[in-house]
Structure 1
Amino acid sequence: MDAEHQEQRHQDKAIEAGDMGKTLEITAPPGKGAQQQAEGATKKQQAEDPESNQVKRRHATSNLEAATHLFKGSVGAGLFAMGDCYKNGGLVGATLLLPVIAVMCVHCERMLIRGSMLAVERTPGATFYDYPETVEKCFEYGPRPLRRMSRAMKLIVEMFLCVTQFGFCAIYFVFITENLYQVLKQNGIEISMSMTMLITLLPAMIPSLMTNLKYISPVSLLANVALLFGLIATLTIAFTNGPMPPISERHLFTGGSQLSLFFGTALFSYEGIALILPLRNSMKEPEQFSKRFGVLNVTMFCITALFIFTGFVSYTRWGEEVQGSITLNLVVEDVFSQVVKIVAAMGVFFGYPIQFFVMMKILWPPLKRSNSCAQKYPITMQVCLRFIMVMMTFCVALVVPQLNLFISLIGALCSTCLAFVIPVLIDFVTRAQVPKGLGHWTYLKNIVILAVAVLGIVAGTYQSIVDIVKEFN
């Protein structure tokens, strides 16, 4: 296998694991239980091949590059929803709870890393496992009654990853449409929201039908630049548009249904756990990833600080009128505000094909294996599947036009399971194999995390569905 083919294979693996930003070059291919002998031979061959090792070292990422990838993969449409997040959590309540959620996320990500490392150690020839494979292997090597669940657990994780990516794509349609609709209406173009969304369908459809990643990934950098510009410009307008209202006019704390919506939005914004394993494996010094002042802790601290700053400023400025995307609060009559809305919408639009590619990397392989027609006409069938999935995301976005409710629903249901529930189950399974591995502190800590997660899933999902039904009525 030549170096170019290896690199492309590694890039595809990184995208499958959920990279929402730039493609990551994974330095070692994943192990599969049925291919352990072949991979062991490959590993031995690479160890004897200086040129292969040189290629791996050349494509390994530095600490700064890994931090940049993690930052870009964790900051997206959820960042623009921080104003709505603060509206549901309160100025003080959200400021206190966001760091708590961040700490829980980081701790669960560390449990996922630990489980992956143990699975790799116990699998001869394996060098890397992504999220679904880690879950499968941990259950496969776990207590005997749980081993039968290994395949099912992998499918569950893949399903949640796929649903999360599907939700991202649908949310992108809503985000683009709402900003574009305001600008068109201000400039005398009177068309409905549905028609505006239909206009965005064709531009989103064309790049999403491409099956080769190298034609899609270059837009990632442009998307991130546009999003960053949109955020900075929006916050600048918020600061310069007259004196800020007094904090006494805003809710400091909330409760009940609002807190459940806050939890869903916050988890949606922090959802980057699928990036953790590919990022760590792509580094020149993987041990630097999860050190006390390593890539994970420092980057999550910066992300949390940015979320708090954005949410606090947005809610203080616009109060109960803050929208699901803070760009929607900009005065549309102002020309600069119109430019900001368009640029932010473009940033999200350029990110749509990447998010869609992640979803297809999950859906296409099992369909190809189980369908003879897909094996005979792979390109044609994949393009058809892509067309159907784009139309499905479009239809869901058309049916549920409220961006903030959509974000809360996806965050409460899927993001919570991926970020909290699955890592805790991995921790229980791996520690159960070690004598006295499950101490009282471990039990208490994991049960508390599970309780918070289940409460968030039930309350957040219920409240989001109730509010969506109200919108229909």
Structure 2
Amino acid sequence: MPTGNTVSDGVGAFQSREQIILKDKKQLDCENAQDDDNDGHYKATHPTSYMDTMLHLFRGNIGSGLLAMGDAFRNGGIIFAPIMTAVLGVICVHAQHILLNCSEEMYRETKRPKPPGFADTVSLVFAHGPVKLRFLAPTMRAVVNAFLCITQLGFCCIYIVFIANNVKMIADQYGITIDLSIHMIFVIIPVLISCMIRNLKFLTPLSMIANVMMAVGVGVVLYEAAQDLPSIQERTFLASWQQLPLYFGTAIYAFEGIGLVLPLKNEMRKPELFQKPLGVLNVGMAVVGCIFISMGFLGYLKWGEDVAGSMTLNLPRGQILSSVVQALIALAMLFTYPLQFYVPMSITWPGLRKRFGPKALVAKELGYRAIMVMLTFVLAQSIPELGLFISIVGAVSSTTLALMFPPIIQLVHEGHRNRLTKYIVIKDCLILLLGALVFTTGTYESLSAIIKFFRKES
């Protein structure tokens, strides 16, 4: 998560994330026109309540990123990390509000039959912005979709490493010592089979099972982390400058749920409740932030420098309960992989399908799916260190989606309508500066750590 962040572990959450992968503009403008009501507002076919949407938000933000928060706090410091995680949470939620507001305005201005999603919102802001920037609209749409693909495929790679690490831990306890790369080979077989399911409808039962498994596993990990805690004085208050970028990469990876907010709001029975001060977004993300901080704080305080990229790997060895928890969370990730994999397929396959033509189309799609799965397998084999993988995915793609696109579109949108104020300019420039800093330093430090890892291994 990975969800990941956000890892989209839940049915509703994943269906929502899947909806952000937008179809061709003409097709999007035509579909669901019958769902407009008389006042021009879109009405969902199966609207969700306040609590339904809140649960979907939890499912979409709590995943593998949560289990990596102990490693994030190790790279941040026991005092610095909780404070900065809260600050990052506020910034990420504010960026989500920016995206929601821009989407709402573009929906009203363009009189579309359905509110635009992430990529369409960015594209429409440029298409209806300053004349000199309008030519960038198709490019910006493609860039957003590209980063969505990178993010989701990164999640898939993390899942393979995550599952293999947990399976190896269980096997080692029973005297079956096999190299991690061999475990990945065993893992990729069921993953490859599950990804041959082409219809999302048939994947949703897997997500239901994954939700239960993840909830039980996380509960046990949190309980174990809270036992026999050492003094806070034994931990580093503020980590070194070389470690901080790794903290930011992992933390933003965990908070990266910006792709969820538009679809979740659009599916609500009363969408106006989503953005209110005590609406779904603010309340839900406040709870999610508290869970992240609690897990990271307790994980690092409990296990210190030995905290793993997934805290399931820190559970006591030789205990049946530990093996059960590791198996449950590994299975949860295995069941979630094909759901996350559906997103890049939804982006990349439609264009290829037109080029391939109608002949043996199903066989070609299955072949393409197999190639994409094997791509994630090769990448996972290349970077088997889970914490480093999470950090680089967070620094590269999650940072761009969560911290850079929202302020850019607000500056373009408000500037074209002569509504820019000093506050907006300063605030958006600071967010962009933070995003650029995390992107550059996080990517550099993550790559440096990966290179050091390979040198040590060789």
- TM-score, with structure 1 as normaliser: 0.90
Aligned in 2, Cα 1:135/1:46: closer, same or farther, shift over 3 Å?
Answer: closer
Instruction: Indicate which of 321, 346, 351 corresponds to 1:361.
Output: 346
Aligned in 2, Cα 1:28/1:134: closer, same or farther, shift over 3 Å?
Answer: closer
**1:270-299 Cα shifts (integer Å, max 9, x gaps):** 011001100000000101001001000001
Counterparts of 2:428 and 2:35, CA distance in 1: 42
Aligned in 2, Cα 1:244/1:428: closer, same or farther, shift over 3 Å?
Answer: same
Q: Which residue of 2 aligns with 1:22?
A: 11
What are the ranges of 5 or more consecutive residues in structure 2 without an aligned counterpart?
Answer: 1-5
Counterparts of 1:226 and 1:31, CA distance in 2: 33
Counterparts of 1:358 and 1:45, CA distance in 2: 24
**Contact kept? 1:31, 1:127, Cα under 8 Å:** no
2:264 maps to a residue whose letter is: L
Counterparts of 1:287 and 1:31, CA distance in 2: 26
Instruction: Indicate which of 419, 439, 453 corresponds to 2:421.
Output: 439
Q: Which residue of 2 aligns with 1:229?
A: 216
Aligned in 2, Cα 1:258/1:211: closer, same or farther, shift over 3 Å?
Answer: same
Residue 333 (structure 2) pairs with residue 343 (structure 1): no
Q: Which residue of 1 aligns with 2:307?
A: 322
**1:72-95 Cα shifts (integer Å, max 9, x gaps):** 111110000010011011111011
Instruction: Indicate which of 358, 361, 373 corresponds to 1:378.
Output: 361
Aligned in 2, Cα 1:344/1:34: closer, same or farther, shift over 3 Å?
Answer: closer
Instruction: Indicate which of 75, 87, 91 corresponds to 1:100.
Output: 87
Instruction: Indicate which of 359, 372, 378 corresponds to 1:389.
Output: 372
Q: Which residue of 1 aligns with 2:234?
A: 249
**Contact kept? 1:140, 1:146, Cα under 8 Å:** yes
C-alpha RMSD of matched pairs (Å): 2.2
Aligned in 2, Cα 1:324/1:290: closer, same or farther, shift over 3 Å?
Answer: same
1:424 maps to a residue whose letter is: P
Identical pairs, percent: 38
**1:298-331 Cα shifts (integer Å, max 9, x gaps):** 0100000001111111111100110000111112
Number of aligned pairs?
A: 444
Q: Which residue of 1 aligns with 2:438?
A: 456
In the TM superposition, residue 36 of structure 1 has moved relative to its aligned partner by 8.4
**Contact kept? 1:66, 1:279, Cα under 8 Å:** yes
1:44-193 to 2 correspondences below 5 Å = 47=37, 59-193=46-180
2:308 maps to a residue whose letter is: Q
Q: Which residue of 2 aligns with 1:425?
A: 408
1:442 maps to a residue whose letter is: I
2:243 maps to a residue whose letter is: Q
Aligned in 2, Cα 1:399/1:289: closer, same or farther, shift over 3 Å?
Answer: same
Q: Which residue of 2 aligns with 1:202?
A: 189
Aligned in 2, Cα 1:46/1:326: closer, same or farther, shift over 3 Å?
Answer: closer
Aligned in 2, Cα 1:30/1:470: closer, same or farther, shift over 3 Å?
Answer: closer
Counterparts of 2:443 and 2:416, CA distance in 1: 34
Q: Which residue of 2 aligns with 1:468?
A: 450
Aligned in 2, Cα 1:341/1:142: closer, same or farther, shift over 3 Å?
Answer: same
In the TM superposition, residue 45 of structure 1 has moved relative to its aligned partner by 8.4
**Contact kept? 2:203, 2:339, Cα under 8 Å:** yes
**1:188-230 Cα shifts (integer Å, max 9, x gaps):** 2122111111111111111111111111111112112111111
**Contact kept? 1:32, 1:126, Cα under 8 Å:** no
1:395-406 to 2 correspondences below 5 Å = 395-406=378-389
**Contact kept? 1:166, 1:359, Cα under 8 Å:** yes
**Contact kept? 1:28, 1:128, Cα under 8 Å:** no
In the TM superposition, residue 255 of structure 1 has moved relative to its aligned partner by 3.3
Counterparts of 1:231 and 1:254, CA distance in 2: 26
Which secondary structure state, in structure 2, belongs to the residue aligned with residue 257 of structure 1? coil
Mean Cα displacement is larger for which, 27-36 or 176-185? 27-36
Q: Which residue of 2 aligns with 1:43?
A: 33
**Contact kept? 1:21, 1:354, Cα under 8 Å:** no
Q: Which residue of 2 aligns with 1:285?
A: 270
Counterparts of 1:126 and 1:43, CA distance in 2: 5
- TM-score, with structure 2 as normaliser: 0.92
**Contact kept? 1:174, 1:401, Cα under 8 Å:** yes
Mean Cα displacement is larger for which, 25-34 or 400-409? 25-34
Which secondary structure state, in structure 2, belongs to the residue aligned with residue 458 of structure 1? helix
**Contact kept? 1:165, 1:358, Cα under 8 Å:** yes
